[in-house]
Amino acid sequence: MSHILITAGPTRAYLDDVRYLTNASSGRMACALAEAALAKGHSVSIVSGPVSVKYPEEARVTSVVTTGDMLKKSLTLLPRVDGVIATAAPCDFEPKQRAKGKLPRQRGLVLDLKPTRDIIATLARQAMPSQWMIAFALEPDGDPARALKKITAKKCDLIVLNDLTALDTTTTSISVFDHSHAMVGQRDGTKASVACWLLELIDTYADKGNLSR
């Protein structure tokens, strides 16, 4: 059985001590994947941003807030796991300088932002050859072109494409592509049923030695 790291939920980039930027993510898919993995006998560690969903008690959960926090904790756990499923929607940008207190509303606001570090790409660069990396990619129009670029750039074994209809719902539709850009499966349904199907696919690939970057 494998030890799987799942990144989950959103992260926050604080503009001041009150306001922040974030991405929409409920953590439901991560929760469903954790439940499916545990049911198959795997061990699960979750690094999650702020969510209201309750993860399985058997999973080891670490709560974080910022993208930097999520990356740091994931890197700490990386040597102990067999693979990573990156379902999180970390904030892609953060202010170059965080203001103290609360910015006055009357002044208006112009944001000067910088990109945050790419979590899955960083993990993939530091992973051992035997460790597999699977990333989720949300594309608003469902076009796989950008997702396929990500699988190469981020050095992932599989990339899971979904779209805006998956946000804050109990259902989803995914397409899975491997590092040769071939679509290896597609599934619609509840997040619980899709998670079970995806775990079966991952286990099949891993058993055949096809998860290699």
The 10 Å CB-count burial string (b at 16+, else e) for 126-153 is ebeeebbbbbbbbeeeeebeebbebbee
Per the annotation, the verdict on 162 as an active-site residue is no
| Cα–Cα distance, 203 to 201 (Å, whole number) | 5
Query: What does each C-alpha distance from 125 to 74, 135, 137, 156 come to in angstroms?
Result: 13, 14, 18, 10
| Cα–Cα distance, 155 to 31 (Å, whole number) | 25
The 10 Å CB-count burial string (b at 16+, else e) for 62-87 is ebbbbbbbbbebbeebbeebbbbbbb
Are 165 and 142 within 8 A, CB to CB?
Answer: no
Lookup result for tokens 């979750």 = 46
One of 6, 9, 10, 23 is an active-site residue; which one? 23
Active site residues: 23
